[in-house]
């Protein structure tokens, strides 16, 4: 008969019975966002070339075009719309990677550590959770490793996004964050690069936590992570040359 009360759960995590972890499904959001992102980048290659050709013809007729020219807007409209959708999908992938990272750290803790450790652990930030879980599973010193720094960056991105800050700016002050003009604004190239970098952090975290787990349940493999890895590899083959706003894109 399934356990109905948390008080009946065993203290020893290796004796934990089913039902097992009920995840947040954030990993599915990552996978679908990356799938959509890959498809839209494929569209971007040809649309970017078509728009560039039309703009060259436009500037041959208007070497000094008027400001807010409707014809210019009409030429760029489809490209701008696609760029907007690409940036949204990149942000979804990053945000869900941050959520899924913490979810995975929590699962690793529940199935590998005594409840007296797990319960106070819930209040810590993801980087601190990673540090404590690693130390209790005989892997101290994670704070000096790249994975810890990556989880810290991913958590900072999520916190900035959730609390109304611009994720590309310093977050010490809302006034500074929003009102000081940056030297460059995020565009498709930078956001796609951020998505590749920060979602890869989630993949690395899952592989790491699996490698240190004592419980077979959290030792993997995890099918969704392998699917996400494949999508990251596909997206990484899209190359950008230029700036965030004027660029060439091609599939390598």
Secondary structure of 77-137 in HEC code, one letter for each residue:
HHHHHHHHHHHHHHHHHHHHHHHHHHHHHHHHHHHHCCHHHHHHHCCCCHHHHHHHHHHHC
Instruction: Decide if 7 is inside a domain.
Output: no
Question: What is the Cβ-side half-sphere exposure of residue 139, based on CA atoms within 13 angstroms?
Answer: 20
Measure the CA–CA gap between 182 and 166, rounded to whole angstroms: 11
First to last CA, the chain: 55
Assess contact for 121 and 129: CB atoms under 8 A: yes
pLDDT for the residue numbered 165:
86
In the numeric block, which tokens belong to residue 151? 């989880």
pLDDT for the residue numbered 220:
77
Measure the CA–CA gap between 54 and 111, rounded to whole angstroms: 58
Measure the CA–CA gap between 17 and 19, rounded to whole angstroms: 6
Instruction: Decide if 225 is inside a domain.
Output: yes
pLDDT for the residue numbered 188:
97
Rg of the chain taking only CA atoms, in angstroms: 22
Instruction: Decide if 18 is inside a domain.
Output: no
**pLDDT tens series, the chain, 252 aa:** 567 787 878 888 888 777 678 888 899 999 999 999 999 999 999 999 999 999 999 999 999 998 889 999 999 999 999 999 999 999 999 999 999 999 999 999 999 999 899 999 999 999 999 999 999 999 999 999 999 999 999 999 999 999 888 888 876 788 888 888 888 888 999 999 999 999 999 999 999 999 999 999 899 788 889 999 999 999 999 999 999 989 999 999
pLDDT for the residue numbered 1:
59
For 242, list phi and psi in degrees, rounded to 5: 125, -150
Instruction: Decide if 122 is inside a domain.
Output: yes
When divided into structural domains, the chain yields a total of: 1
pLDDT for the residue numbered 19:
65
Any idea which residue has 């041959």 for tokens? 60
Indicate the SS3 state at residue 247. Answer: strand
The domain of 223 spans: 24-245
Between the alpha carbon of residue 154 and those of residues 80, 161, 194, 202, 224, the distances in Å are 27, 11, 10, 9, 19
Any idea which residue has 């929003």 for tokens? 178
Between the alpha carbon of residue 130 and those of residues 148, 209, 225, the distances in Å are 7, 9, 18
Instruction: Decide if 63 is inside a domain.
Output: yes
Omega within 30 of 0 (cis) for the link into 221: yes
Instruction: Decide if 93 is inside a domain.
Output: yes
Instruction: Decide if 250 is inside a domain.
Output: no
Assess contact for 58 and 65: CB atoms under 8 A: yes
Check residue 87 and give left, alpha or beta (phi > 0: left; psi -120 to 50: alpha).
alpha
Instruction: Decide if 187 is inside a domain.
Output: yes
Q: How far is CA 69 from the centre of its chain?
A: 37
């Amino acid at each position: 008969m399934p356990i109905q009360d948390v008080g009946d759960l065993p203290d020893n995590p290796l004796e934990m019975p089913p039902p097992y972890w009920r995840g947040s499904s954030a990993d599915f959001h990552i996978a679908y966002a990356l799938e959509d992102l890959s498809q839209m980048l494929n569209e971007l290659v040809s649309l970017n070339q078509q728009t560039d050709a039309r703009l060259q013809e436009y500037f041959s007729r208007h070497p000094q075009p008027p400001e807010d020219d409707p014809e210019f807007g009409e030429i760029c409209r489809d490209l701008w719309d696609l760029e907007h959708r690409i940036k949204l999908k990149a942000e979804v992938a990053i945000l869900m990677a941050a959520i899924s990272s913490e979810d995975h750290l929590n699962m690793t803790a529940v199935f590998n550590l005594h409840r007296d450790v797990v319960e106070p652990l819930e209040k810590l930030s993801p980087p601190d959770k990673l540090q404590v879980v690693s130390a209790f599973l005989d892997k101290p010193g994670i704070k000096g490793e790249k994975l810890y720094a990556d989880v810290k960056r991913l958590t900072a991105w999520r916190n900035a996004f959730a609390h109304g800050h611009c994720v590309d700016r310093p977050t010490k002050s809302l006034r500074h964050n929003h009102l000081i003009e940056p030297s460059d604004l995020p565009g498709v190239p930078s956001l796609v690069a951020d998505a590749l970098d920060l979602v890869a952090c989630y993949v690395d975290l899952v592989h790491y936590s699996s490698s240190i787990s004592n419980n077979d349940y959290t030792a993997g493999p995890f099918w969704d992570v392998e699917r996400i890895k494949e999508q990251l590899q596909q997206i990484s083959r899209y190359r950008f040359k230029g700036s965030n706003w004027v660029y060439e894109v091609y599939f390598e």
